[in-house]
Structure 1
Amino acid sequence: MLGGGIIDTLGAPLRRRILREVRATISGAADGSARIALSDDAYFAPDTVIRRVHGDVTSMMVGGIAALLLQMLHPAVLAGVWDHSNFREDMLGRLHRTARFIATTTYAHRDDADDVLAHVRAIHDRVSGVLPDGTPYDANDPRLLAWVHVCEAVSFVDAWKRYGRTPLSAAEEDSYFDQFALIAAKLGADLIPRTRAEADALIADIRPELLSDHRTREVAALVVRPRAASLAAVPVQALTIQAAIDLLPPWARALHGFGGAGVGAPLVRAGTSGIARTLRWAFA
């Protein structure tokens, strides 16, 4: 039987290839130049739940896509993307920037996190307009910021609960929402959920405002189109996208027209769990 050291040596080239593919897909930089330096003076201590959840690559990829699909169901969020971004040409760049924002505010020195937060607030200052029905919108609306935040929080923690290494207790799940609320508050959100129950209540309160139209469908089609860094990574990314759609609550899948979870859900979940185990090995 081969020893662990020999296995690690034989697996080193595969591990390096996986790392390059994932880094290129998430950050756009296969050489690792976009990596975040971990800091002991980050906003969250190394043993916090938020650092555990945000450190799982598969959960964050699946949860990140699901969060975008949830967020755009609010007409004001969709309008901000539609009116103020080049999403048709740079949807991948948007995903990269979101991943970097989460990583920086979770793990980097708090001065670096503050710089990123200030940059996002400055962008929000320029995002406002009028919806097709004449309703004004503003990216600095505290309620709208709370919606964007809760979509991310619920999606990330639900993805962890499905694909993460270990289960979360109810207390740990509430701690995650309480910790992540700090970032939402620094962006100007209001009525920020600090427990799972408060998160579910906020989503239920905002649900009547959500809708899907031709603009929603156009943006969603770009989000769920695989665009991996290489052809070899396309099947993995396609499975990750299906896992994100499967993670959405049934009412959100229905609004998007994705249909129910279907008979393929067990295969999607099993395949994504396999990807999660492989990535944990590669990033070990």
Structure 2
Amino acid sequence: MYLPHQLVGQLLNKKFDEDVRRHYFRGMEFAAPVGDPGWFGPGSAVWHVHSHMHALIFGLQCAAFMERLDPSIYWMGMHHSRLVKRDPQTGEAKPELDPKGLAVRLGHSIAFFIGTAYGSTETAERLAQSVRAMHHTIKGVRPDGARYDADDPDWLRWNYATVVWGLATAHELYHPNPLRGKKLDRYYGEFVRVGHALGGTDLPTTKAETLECLESYLPKLAVTHGTATSTGPGVPFPQNMVDWAIRDTLPKWAKQLVAHTDPNIIERTARRAAVWSVINGLSAATGPIPEFRQAQARVKGGTTVPHTVPTYVPGTDPVRSRDEVERSFA
């Protein structure tokens, strides 16, 4: 006889299978080849952090919020992304998120960070190559005349730092068994492989270095129209609960930039406890993700090497058109 939480878990897993795995996990290998540890392998901090799917998803939202404090990121999205709504007649972007486009972006992001964590070496390499191919097509000019290029090393460093900070901070706050101190720095040090695989250079490898890196970009950052209209006290319930939790993860200077004020310690603790209960309630209902279990089985008898590392050398990717890249993501 199934208990209520087991039924909820079944429904949530079925919906995730239909909405995410069926569309975005195609062609990804987790069960083979036997003995292949992928980029990280058993005992790694990355395997521990990414196994908590719902904290991972929340961390990706935190990363996206901080990322778009760079005006160039905002205009990359306006010019190239499906995330924003567009005028049906002119195709011109509006500063409003498109729910369908947001779901597609989230699906691809989840698949990437699960695939690079637990997938075979070939799976991780292919995922990274696909994302790099998309980055290669994102170049343009902002309305103020400033140029942007998703292959720019300075942009890649900012993008990487926001992602690793978002994922690690969400883990610290909302994982039931979080890594802290030097153990958490292991995660920062391991995860840098993903940044290198996407073309990043001179990337931070500890929590302190990441905080320093993020703050160094402050002179370049701003609250764009899109950010201003999608956060703060005007956001309706229940989105405002998630919006608050995201802003709560920001460093002090970033909170000041978006005019976020921490409540008193009692209220802040109560709010975090509520968010913790939701995230971990979902995780308890759905259970361990199958990709993690498959990866564990893949290396149950041992690994061929401690881990493999990304092989990408900047500038060696084949040239692909935007249409070719879009088809690879379809």
TM norm. shorter chain > 0.5? yes
The aligned residue for residue 58 of structure 1 is 54
The structure-2 alpha-carbon separation of the partners of 1:181 and 1:225, relative to structure 1 and needing over 3 Å to count, comes to farther
Given the superposition, is the C-alpha separation of residues 271 and 128 from structure 1 closer, same or farther in structure 2, using an over 3 Å criterion? same
Amino acid aligned to 1:15: G
The change in CA–CA distance for 1:52 and 1:112 in structure 2 (over 3 A counts) is same
Structure-2 change in CA distance of 1:267 and 1:37 (3 Å): farther
**Structure 2 unaligned regions, length at least 5:** 85-97, 289-330
The equivalent residue for 1:49 is: 45
Inter-partner Cα distance in structure 2 for 1:29 and 1:215: 26
- Answer yes or no: is the 8 Å Cα contact 1:73–1:210 preserved in 2: yes
Residue aligning to 1:139: 150
TM-score w.r.t. length of structure 2 = 0.71
Indicate which of 92, 105, 108 corresponds to 2:103: 92
Cα separation, partners in 2 of 1:205 and 1:121, compared to 1, 3 Å: same
1:58 CA displacement: 2.8
Q: Which residue type is aligned with residue 262 of structure 1? A: P
**Aligned-pair distance for 1:202?**
0.7
CA RMSD of aligned residues (A): 2.7
Name 1:281's counterpart in structure 2.
284
- Give the 3-state SS of the residue equivalent to 2:20 in structure 1: coil
Matched, 1:272 2:264: no
In the alignment, the residues of structure 2 paired with residue 118 and residue 75 of structure 1 have an alpha-carbon distance, to the nearest angstrom, of 26
Structure 1 partner of 2:90: none
Take 2:282 and 2:3, find their aligned partners in 1: how far apart are those partners? 17
- 1:18 matched to 2:12? The reply is yes
1:46 Cα deviation after fit: 2.2
The structure with the largest alpha-carbon Rg is 2
> SS at 2:113's partner residue?
helix
Q: Which residue of 1 aligns with 2:263?
A: 262
8 Å contact 1:105–1:113 — kept in the other structure? yes
Higher relative contact order (CA 8 A, sep 6+): 2
Conservation of the 8 A alpha-carbon contact between 2:215 and 2:253: no
Q: Which stretch shows the higher mean deviation, 156-165 or 81-90?
A: 81-90
CA contact (8 A) 1:163 1:276 kept: yes
Structure 1 residue 198 corresponds to structure 2 residue 200: no
- Residue 80 (structure 1) shift: 1.2
Amino acid at match of 1:14: V
Identity, % of aligned positions: 25
Deviation at 1:238?
5.9
Structure with the higher helix share, 1 or 2: 1
Partner in structure 1 of residue 196 of structure 2: 185
Q: Does structure 1 residue 173 correspond to structure 2 residue 184? A: yes
Shift of 1:37: 4.8
**Structure 1 stretches of 5 or more lacking a match?**
1-5, 227-233
Q: 1:119 to 1:167 in 2, by over 3 A?
A: closer
Aligned-partner Cα distance in 2 for 1:64–1:278: 19
Alpha-carbon deviations, 1:17-74, whole Å to 9, x = none?
A: 23335x27xx833879848653543211121101111111232122111100100011
- What is the TM-score when the length of structure 1 is the normalising length? 0.82
- 2 CA distance for matches of 1:279 and 1:54? 15
Counterparts in 2 of 1:125-136, with a 5 A limit? 125-136=136-147
Q: Distance in 1 between matches of 2:277 and 2:109?
A: 25
Q: Note the 1:183-262 alignment, pairs <5 A.
A: 183-218=194-229, 220=230, 235=238, 239-257=241-259, 259-262=260-263
The one-letter code matched in structure 1 to 2:80 is: H
For the 8 Å contact 1:20–1:30, the answer to whether it is kept is no
* Distance in 1 of aligned mates of 2:218 and 2:282: 35
Instruction: Give the secondary-structure state (helix, strand or coil) at the position aligned to 1:251.
Output: helix
1:161 deviates by 0.8
Report the alpha carbon displacement of residue 95 of structure 1 after superposing the two structures with TM.
1.6
Query: Does the aligned pair in 2 maintain the 1:61–1:240 contact within 8 Å?
Result: no
